[in-house]
């Protein structure tokens, strides 16, 4: 925590300005911007934990209070909240600049103090706040939306088990060594992450409790309170309550009592936490309130989990996962990957005790991705070493049947090992896609539109890093598609369309990359309006002659999206520059196709970076190149007369009735020792990119091979001829041609 | 410990790896050297400057290999038995690390040099170009040229594009690339006349 005030205020200012942009889009009775604003407050809360003037901290708590009201209420912004937030935004900006210049902070605007109507009193929000009134906290029930959120809940469940376990361990350390600030911080962060995740799933009761516990640890962090055994007891009780919730969520996910509200008494804990924050800790813990008999309480009252007392509803459901599978981890600061090890666990025994323990284990191991990468590279080396051994002349001269069998066995095992290792990094794009279902549901309900989201190619596997980074741009684009792309049901019917709008989200391997398409059947982009807006904003010169696609690309320009665009129906510019930047940071590109009145398609083409591709190995002279099989349409040995020259400069070959230009690859690349001087001596490989095709003349086809794409590094960043490199079986490097470039020469 | 050489004070006490190119002797800071490997088959990358020899597989990582003789416009020739590849690690902006290889004729030794034993690069009045030279030193009986390894490699590692003037340079490079690509394509097609 060596942040200087100036860096904190600079960070806060940055959040403040992004906040302002998001705030501009907030509309009464809609939830646009709710999640971003929530995350801004979370960021600010993180900053507030550093070293911020109390008045600022308080104002952040205040904002959080309004936001919590919204979360607990209609989930949409009320007029009052918007006024408050705008007022807050103005004040906060002033206060920040005052702080930066070491002036006195302006006082809070009037009316801020009187809004504390949530059960969440400011006492809890800010440990230093003066209000000390005891609030009676109702026991809140949580209800799970198993259908919509199953995937997220699963993830939440397994993450929570880990988080709570590490919290518990941390607390035990803390009891021994109360001043261990590292441990306090890590417990604090664990609660914070938990709170965020619970908030995202709208598990309000969990979020509230985690929040209170977080405040307590925060106070400890700032040495406002001392960690004593009673404090540790309270936190343990709190984490036990969270554990009970998690356990119930786990049960429901397995189908027990699905859909039933979950109540775990937490009010006594919350009260104790608040008492502790005020410094008047009761000498003994109050008697725990009676437990709702309807809810099985697996952990009883004892803070130490005692599985034998649990009412075991069912033996552990047999794991359905058989393959080693990786799911991406979305939240949490660690760069880790989770590996499902369910199938590695022994089958559940009948013993109640053991199965109760199993209920709590998540079947995932968290791994540092660096370790995983190292493993993958080493396996690659192993495969190469293996093939070197097998192909060694002295071994090949040994005529031993036994040895041959053993070598075959070795080859099989190593290639199996390699396949497994490769698959560790690849995750289906499903998790990123399924989150969109929720988004579409929320936006369409809020805008009273009828929208169906069609997902396609969810099983397409992508490098997990890409899947993770894809989420944000997808949210933006899907939101735009529903928000601005699709018309209201009435308008659709008037235009002769079905009232039900469709947004199609698909993923596929194509064009030597991964193609993600967001397609809507809405009204399409209005090129004229976009151009007018672009000129008005000074993004394009009024005299410029632009093609349609150039006009569409204006929406990606920074500065195109402004507050007015969302009232303007043509506007699709909400954060599209950010979308483009995000995708470009993955070295991908975005394209727009649109037909006015029919709909728009946003196409994201992502590079292969670590994807495995099927490659066609071709030879030219002494060199070998790999062409991604996916872009290859066909290949043939041309007969005399099949290739026609045009103007003596170009050559075309007829491919299924289409005259296709032919490129002599060897000459184009400047390869030495080209064998195919005439077309008839070589092989023409027809490749395609989008709708365009080109024949490529090579000397020979060497074979088909699955290769792992490796980045060629900074040196070759500017060339577009090669899509990457691959380590071949003999340990040498093969170059992968970029078909797009070859086709669009 | 940082491997970054500060730009204002290039001449630094420290350990240097010396190697030979032809009859000349050069040195680079040991801190940048990751490892030294035997000369192995290098996959040539088409349409690259001659001093970019190609790429190799360094235990699963593909790295670019430079030919230092070509880079300094020395006489080219076959590599001898003692030729090897020095793998250097370069620290780019934002903590990115790039590995690159350089082919040298032979690795000599590691020497400890002090600030006062290093003289600034002599001025030849234009040729040869001294922009890659950090200084010269005399040790173990011969004069060794100390190279500014980061400058040599960053030139090719295109990390320099993060600098302010990078954008225009990239644009210029892109422009020329497209032009040459289409020219070559055309001339190739020309050559195909049958």
pLDDT tens for each residue of B123-149: 777 777 778 888 888 887 788 999 888
Q: Say whether B105 sits in a helix, a strand or coil.
A: coil
| Segment-wise mean pLDDT, segments of 10 residues, chain B, 194 residues | 43 85 90 90 89 88 90 83 91 76 92 85 76 84 86 64 34 36 38 36
Cis, bond preceding A155 (omega within 30 deg of 0): no
- CATH superfamily for A142-305 is HPT domain (1.20.120.160)
Residue A330: which of A196, A438, A145 has the closest Cα? A196
Contact check, Cβ <8 Å, A667/B157 = no
The residue in chain A having the minimum alpha-carbon distance to the alpha carbon of residue B66 is A715
The CATH architecture assigned to B14-163 reads: Beta Barrel (2.40)
Check the CA dihedral B24-B25-B29-B32 and report its sign: positive
Interface of A with B in 362-421 (CB under 8 A): 376-378, 380-381
Predicted pLDDT of residue A610? 52
pLDDT on residue A626: 93
- Among A369, A424, A384, which residue's Cα sits nearest to residue A612? A424
pLDDT of B166 reads 32
Residue, of A326 and B23, whose pLDDT is higher: B23
Residues of A in contact with B192 (CB under 8 A): 645, 649-651, 662, 664, 667
Question: How many A×B Cβ pairs under 8 Å?
Answer: 121
Task: Tell me which chain A residues have a C-beta less than 8 angstroms from the C-beta of B63.
Answer: 713
Q: Using the beta-carbon criterion (under 8 Å), do A715 and B159 form an inter-chain contact?
A: no
Q: Which range is least confidently modeled, A202-206, A739-743, B124-128?
A: B124-128
CB contact under 8 A, B174 and A718: yes
**Residue A714 to residue B98, Cβ atoms within 8 A:** yes
> Closest Cα to residue A462, out of A287, A598, A613, A342?
A613
Which of B52, B57, B178 has the highest number of chain A CBs within 10 A, making it the mutation to test binding with A? B57
Segments of chain A assigned to CATH 1.20.120.160: 142-305
Shortest Cα distance from B34 to chain A (angstroms)? 17
All CATH 2.30.30.40 domain ranges in chain A, comma separated: 612-743
Q: Which chain A residue has its CA at the smallest distance from B173's CA?
A: A718
Residue A308 has pLDDT above 70, yes or no: no
d(CA A715, nearest CA chain B) in Å: 4
Of residues A140 and B26, the one with the higher pLDDT is: B26
Q: Do B182 and A745 touch (CB under 8 A)?
A: yes
Across the interface, of B56, B57, B156, the residue whose CB is closest to A715 is B156
Inform me whether the C-beta atom of residue A743 falls under 8 Å from chain B C-beta atoms: no
Chain B residues touching A727 at Cβ < 8 A: 57, 60, 62
What share of chain A has pLDDT > 70, as a percent?
Answer: 80
User: Is the distance from CB of A340 to CB of A327 less than 8 angstroms?
Assistant: yes
Q: Mean pLDDT, to the nearest integer, of A291-311?
A: 42
The conformation of residue A484, written as its DSSP 8-state character, comes to I
Q: Where are the domains of chain B?
A: 14-163, 166-194
Nearest to A162 by CA among A137, A206, A201, A193: A193
In this prediction, residue B163 carries a pLDDT of: 33
Contact with chain B for residue A734, Cβ under 8 A: yes
Least CB-CB distance to A717: which of B43, B158, B193? B158
Q: Give the integer Cα–Cα distance in Å for A329 and A501.
A: 32
Residues of B in CB contact (< 8 Å) with A are 41, 43-48, 52, 54-57, 59-64, 92, 96, 98-100, 156-159, 170, 173-174, 177, 181-182, 184-186, 188-194
Q: What is the pLDDT of residue A686?
A: 93
The CATH architecture to which A429-606 belongs is 2-Layer Sandwich (3.30)
Q: Where are the alpha helices (DSSP H) in B24-165?
A: 68-71, 149-157
Please state, rounded to an integer, the average pLDDT across all residues of chain A.
Answer: 75
| B62 to A711: CB separation less than 8 angstroms, yes or no | yes
In this predicted structure, the answer to whether residue A318 has a pLDDT above a threshold of 70 is: no
Mutate to test the interface with A, among B37, B40, B43, B101 (most CBs of A within 10 A): B43
pLDDT digits (tens, 9 = 90+) for A457-491: 888 888 777 888 888 888 888 888 888 888 888 88
Residue in B96, B157, B192 closest to A645 by CB = B192
The alpha carbon of residue A474 is apart from the nearest alpha carbon of chain B, in Å, by: 26
Of B57, B188, B191, the CB nearest to A731: B57
Select the residue from A623, A673, A714 to test the B interface by mutation, using most B Cβ atoms within 10 A.
Answer: A714
CATH number of the domain at A612-743, out of 3.90.180.10, 1.10.3720.10, 2.30.30.40, 3.40.50.2000?
2.30.30.40
A554: closest CA of chain B, how far (Å): 20
Grade residue A698 by pLDDT with cuts at 50, 70 and 90: very high
* Gyration radius of chain A over CA positions: 31
C-alpha span between B138 and B117 (Å, rounded): 7
Given the cut 0.90, state whether the ipTM is greater than it.
no
Q: Right CATH number for A1-118 from 1.20.1530, 1.20.120, 3.30.360, 1.10.3470?
A: 1.20.120
Q: HSE-up of B149 (CA within 13 Å, CB side)?
A: 28
Cβ neighbours of A622 in B, within 8 Å: none
pLDDT in the model for residue B18? 93
Chain B neighbors of A669, CB-CB under 8 A: 46-47
Cα–Cα distance list, A145 to A266, A452, A661 (Å): 22, 19, 56
- Chain B CB contacts of A651 below 8 Å: 189, 192, 194
Decide if A710 and B61 are in contact by the 8 Å CB cutoff.
Answer: yes
Q: How far apart are CA A586 and CA A237, in angstroms?
A: 44
Cβ within 8 Å, pair A714-B92: yes
Other C-beta atoms closer than 10 Å to the C-beta of A615 total 25
Q: Chain B within 8 Å of A648 (Cβ-Cβ)?
A: yes
Indicate whether A731 pLDDT > 80.
Answer: no
Q: Tell which of A375, A715, A717, A738 to mutate to test the B interface (max B CBs under 10 Å).
A: A715
Q: Determine whether the interchain pair B47/A735 forms a contact, defined as Cβ–Cβ distance below 8 Å.
A: no
| Chain A residues 670-699 within an 8 A CB cutoff of chain B | 670-671, 678-679
**pLDDT-derived band at A697, boundaries 50, 70, 90:** very high
Contact B45 A745 (CB under 8 A): no
Q: Which of chain B's residues have a Cβ under 8 Å away from the Cβ of A623?
A: 43-44, 46
CB-CB neighbors (< 8 A) of A745 in chain B: 181-182, 185
- CA dist A527 and A548 (Å) reads 7
Q: Which residue of B has its CA nearest to A709?
A: B62
Distance from CA of A720 to the nearest CA of B (A): 9
Q: Do B98 and A710 touch (CB under 8 A)?
A: no
Q: What is the pLDDT of residues A61-78, one digit of tens each?
A: 888 888 888 777 777 788
CB of A623 within 8 Å of a chain B CB? The answer is yes
Contact A732 B63 (CB under 8 A): no
d(CA A470, CA A462): 10
Q: Is pLDDT of A282 > 60?
A: no
Task: Say yes or no for a CB contact (<8 Å) between A716 and B45.
Answer: yes
| Contacts with B157 from chain A: Cβ below 8 Å | 713-715
- Phi (first) and psi of residue B80, to 5 degrees: -85, -170
Alpha helices in A52-145 (DSSP H): 54-72, 79-100, 122-125
Pairing mode, strands B61-67 and B97-104: parallel
Cβ contact A722–B52 (<8 Å)? no
Q: Do B60 and A679 touch (CB under 8 A)?
A: no
Higher-confidence position of A675 and A284: A675
How would you classify residue B117: left for phi > 0, otherwise alpha for psi between -120 and 50, otherwise beta?
alpha
């Amino acid at each position: 925590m060596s942040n200087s005030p100036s860096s904190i205020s600079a960070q806060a200012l940055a959040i403040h300005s992004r906040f302002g942009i998001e705030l501009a889009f907030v509309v009464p009775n809609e939830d646009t911007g709710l999640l971003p604003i929530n995350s801004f407050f979370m960021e600010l809360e993180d900053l507030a934990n550093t070293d911020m003037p109390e008045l600022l901290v308080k104002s952040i708590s205040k904002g959080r209070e309004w936001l919590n009201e919204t979360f607990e209420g209609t989930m949409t912004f009320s007029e009052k909240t918007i006024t408050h937030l705008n007022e807050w935004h103005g004040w906060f900006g002033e206060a920040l600049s005052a702080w930066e210049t070491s002036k006195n902070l302006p006082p809070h605007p009037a009316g801020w103090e009187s809004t504390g109507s949530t059960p969440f009193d400011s006492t809890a929000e800010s440990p230093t706040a003066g209000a000390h009134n005891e609030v009676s906290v109702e026991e809140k029930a949580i209800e799970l939306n198993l259908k919509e959120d199953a995937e997220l809940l699963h993830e939440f469940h397994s993450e929570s088990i880990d988080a709570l376990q590490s919290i518990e361990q941390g607390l035990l350390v803390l009891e021994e060594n109360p001043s261990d600030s590292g441990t306090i911080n890590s417990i604090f962060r664990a609660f914070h992450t938990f709170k965020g995740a619970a908030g995202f799933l709208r598990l309000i009761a969990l979020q509230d409790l985690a929040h209170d516990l977080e405040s307590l640890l925060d106070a400890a962090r700032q040495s406002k309170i001392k960690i004593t055994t009673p404090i540790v007891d309270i936190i343990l009780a709190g984490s036990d309550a969270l554990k009970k919730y998690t356990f119930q969520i786990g049960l429901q996910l397995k189908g027990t009592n699905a859909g039933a509200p979950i109540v775990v008494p937490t009010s006594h804990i919350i009260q104790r936490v608040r008492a502790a924050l005020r410094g008047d800790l009761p000498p003994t813990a109050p008697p725990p309130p009676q437990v709702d008999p309807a809810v099985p309480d697996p952990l009883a009252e004892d803070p130490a989990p005692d599985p034998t007392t649990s009412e075991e509803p069912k033996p552990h459901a047999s794991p359905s996962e058989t393959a080693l599978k990786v799911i991406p981890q979305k939240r949490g600061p660690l760069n880790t990957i989770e590996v499902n090890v369910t199938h590695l666990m022994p089958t559940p025994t009948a013993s109640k005790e053991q199965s109760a323990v199993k209920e709590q284990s998540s079947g995932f191991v968290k791994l540092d991705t660096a370790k995983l990468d190292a493993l993958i590279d080493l396996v690659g080396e192993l495969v190469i070493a293996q093939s070197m051994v097998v192909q060694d002349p002295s071994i090949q001269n040994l005529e031993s049947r036994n040895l041959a069998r053993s070598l075959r066995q070795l080859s099989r095992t190593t290639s199996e090992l390699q396949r497994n290792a490769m698959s560790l990094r690849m995750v289906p794009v499903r998790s990123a896609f399924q989150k969109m279902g929720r988004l579409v549901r929320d936006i369409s309900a809020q805008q009273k539109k009828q929208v169906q989201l069609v997902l396609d190619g969810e099983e397409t596997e992508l490098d997990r890093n890409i899947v993770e980074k894809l989420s944000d741009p997808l949210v933006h684009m899907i939101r735009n598609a529903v928000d601005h792309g699709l018309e209201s049901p009435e308008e659709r019917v008037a235009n002769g369309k079905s009232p039900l709008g469709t947004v199609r989200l698909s993923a596929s391997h194509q064009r030597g990359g991964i193609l993600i398409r967001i397609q809507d059947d809405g009204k399409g982009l209005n090129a004229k309006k976009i151009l007018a807006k672009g000129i008005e904003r000074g993004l394009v010169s009024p005299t410029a002659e632009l093609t349609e696609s150039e006009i569409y690309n204006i929406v990606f320009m920074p500065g195109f999206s402004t507050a007015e665009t969302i009232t303007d129906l043509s506007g699709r510019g909400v954060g599209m520059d950010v979308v483009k930047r995000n995708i470009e940071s993955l070295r991908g590109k975005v394209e727009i196709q649109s037909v006015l009145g029919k709909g728009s398609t946003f196409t994201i083409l992502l590079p292969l970076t670590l994807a495995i591709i099927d490659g066609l190995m071709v030879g030219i002279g002494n060199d070998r190149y790999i062409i991604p099989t996916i872009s290859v349409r066909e290949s043939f040995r041309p007969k005399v007369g099949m290739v026609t020259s045009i103007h003596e400069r170009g050559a075309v070959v007829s491919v299924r009735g289409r005259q296709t230009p032919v490129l002599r690859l060897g000459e184009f690349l400047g390869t030495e020792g080209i064998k195919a001087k005439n077309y008839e001596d070589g092989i023409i490989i027809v490749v395609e990119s989008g709708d365009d095709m080109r024949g490529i003349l090579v000397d020979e086809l060497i074979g088909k091979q699955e290769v792992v794409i490796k980045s060629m590094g900074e040196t070759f960043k500017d060339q577009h001829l090669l899509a990457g490199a691959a380590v071949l079986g003999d340990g040498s490097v093969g170059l992968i041609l970029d078909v797009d470039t070859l086709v669009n020469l | 410990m940082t491997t970054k050489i500060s730009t204002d004070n290039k001449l630094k006490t420290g350990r240097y790896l010396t190697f030979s190119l032809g009859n000349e002797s050069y040195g680079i800071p040991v801190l940048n050297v990751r490892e030294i490997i035997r000369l192995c088959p290098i996959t040539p990358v088409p349409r690259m400057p001659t001093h970019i020899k190609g790429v190799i597989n360094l235990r699963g990582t593909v790295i670019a290999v430079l030919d230092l003789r070509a880079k300094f416009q020395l006489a080219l020739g076959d590599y001898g038995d003692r030729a090897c590849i020095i793998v250097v690690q370069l620290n780019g902006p934002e903590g990115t690390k790039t590995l690159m290889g350089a082919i040298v004729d032979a690795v000599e030794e590691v020497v400890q040099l002090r600030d006062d034993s290093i003289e600034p690069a002599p001025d030849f009045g234009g040729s040869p170009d001294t922009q890659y030279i950090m200084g010269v030193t005399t040790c173990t009986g011969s004069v060794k040229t100390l190279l500014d390894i980061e400058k040599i490699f960053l030139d090719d590692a295109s990390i320099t594009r993060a600098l302010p003037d990078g954008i225009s340079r990239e644009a210029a490079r892109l422009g020329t690339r497209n032009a040459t690509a289409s020219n070559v394509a055309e001339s190739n097609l020309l050559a195909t006349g049958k």
